[in-house]
Amino acid sequence: MGNTADLVSIKMVADRLMQNPLLKDLNYEFIVDHAMQVLRIIEAPSLYVTRRERINIENYRGLKPIDMMTVEAISKVEGQTQISLVASEDIQQEFYGQGIKPSRRDLTYSLNSKYVSVNFEKGDVDIIYKAIATDEDCYPMVLNNETLLRCVQSYIKYSWFQILYDMDMISERKKNSAEIDYSFNVAQAEINLKMPSIDEMEALVNVVTQFLPSSTEHSRRFEFLGAQEKLRIH
């Protein structure tokens, strides 16, 4: 899901919410903050866009993409060739170049809040990662899916009603109604967004029914992991 044609800005959710007189005091900061909360609660793969960025490595590390949520793959660029890196279990990897030198020959990486650390001193790496898309005003964008939009709206409404209830501005019945509405919608969104498509299920079947398990899929960036195998009988 690399393009944003099927995404809408969170401002659309805000416009819907503000039609309710009890939500007229909502501000965009509250809406965006709680929209991001519920998107992370759901953790549906279809909520993210896949991006690719080339970063420069100096002294064994480079700056992570600022919008990166999770990493999919990291490869070292050598001309027209890309060599896959594997996640490192070396707890000292972040300190390479500070009096510590790597001893492994295979290429590895580790991540912290700011940097990608690798076990080679200089070069370029390509990072494929998941990010939450934003519009031209830097507001988050969400999948244009009515079930998901209702989930985000109901979570923001419930969170706001909880504040109003604590201030004795609404009844417990209204607050409980908003909570029930959110609980229903978040369950519907999780089922709707995490259910694989027919094509995705076919690829999954191909993975689990392979005749010969492959030990080189990582180095090939899982390009053929879901490919169908055929048995030739002579």
Q: Are strands 108-111 and 86-87 parallel, antiparallel or unpaired?
A: parallel
Percentage of the chain exceeding pLDDT 70 = 79
What is this structure's pTM? 0.61
**Shared-domain flag, residues 122 and 104:** yes
Three-state SS at 120: coil
Number of domains in the chain: 2
- How far is the C-alpha of 158 from the C-alpha of 111, rounded, in Å? 35
Considering the domain boundaries, does residue 224 fall inside one?
no
Considering the domain boundaries, does residue 205 fall inside one?
no
Residue 218 has pLDDT above 70, yes or no: no
Q: Which residues pair with 143 in a beta bridge?
A: 7
226 phi and psi, to 5 degrees? -95, 10
Per-residue pLDDT at 129 = 93
Residue 178 has pLDDT above 90, yes or no: yes
**Shared-domain flag, residues 80 and 28:** no
**Shared-domain flag, residues 163 and 188:** yes
Within a 10 A sphere around the Cβ of 192, how many other Cβ atoms? 16
- How far is the C-alpha of 82 from the C-alpha of 84, rounded, in Å? 6
**Shared-domain flag, residues 156 and 168:** yes
Range of the domain at 174: 7-47+137-194
Per-residue pLDDT at 40 = 79
Q: Is the C-alpha dihedral spanning 140, 143, 146, 150 positive or negative?
A: negative
Considering the domain boundaries, does residue 220 fall inside one?
no
Please list, in sequence order, all residues whose beta carbon lies within 8 angstroms of the beta carbon of residue 80, skipping any fewer than 6 positions away: none
